Structure 1
């Protein structure tokens, strides 16, 4: 199943509290449960003004459905075409 990177622009998101992130994660998981097993949240990376989320989903439409139902921005959705790391050089 395809993997996607979602860029979410949220001003000052890096300043949110642990409790805020708990609430965000709970909302995301609630929406994921509602949608069903066709989408999986792997992890997210929080920077000062953005969150980069990694999802597995059958298509971009399901990723956008999650964003819309959760009230999350999805400023960019990009399908991962390949994963490389230092061992790729070997």
Structure 2
């Protein structure tokens, strides 16, 4: 299944409390459960004013449907074409 990075512009994201993040996560998971197994949230990185989410999904439309249903911004969606890490240098 394709992997995507979603860039969400959320001013003050870095100041969200643990309770805020828990609520956002619960809402997202509830929507994902209703959408079925074709879309999976892997994890997210919270920075000062953005959240970068990694999702597995069949296409961008599925990710946009999740974002629209949850009222989450999805300012940029980029499909991951390849992955590298330090072990790539060993090949």
Same fold (TM over 0.5): yes
Q: CA deviation at 1:87?
A: 1.0
Q: Distance in 2 between matches of 1:31 and 1:83?
A: 28
1:32-53 per-residue CA deviation (whole Å, 9 max, x = no partner) reads 0111111000000000000000
1:22-66 per-residue CA deviation (whole Å, 9 max, x = no partner) reads 000000001101111110000000000000000000111101100
**1:18 and 2:42 correspond:** no
Q: Could you tell me which runs of 5 or more consecutive residues in structure 1 were left unpaired when the two chains were aligned.
A: none
Q: Secondary structure at 2:52's aligned position in 1?
A: strand
Q: Which residue of 2 aligns with 1:5?
A: 5
Q: Which residue of 2 aligns with 1:39?
A: 39
Q: CA deviation at 1:79?
A: 0.3
Q: Distance in 1 between matches of 2:38 and 2:89?
A: 34
Q: Which residue of 2 aligns with 1:77?
A: 77
Q: Distance in 1 between matches of 2:46 and 2:7?
A: 10
In the TM superposition, structure 1's runs of 4+ consecutive aligned residues that sit over 4 Å from their partners are: none
Count of residues in correspondence between the two structures = 90
TM-score by length of 2: 0.97
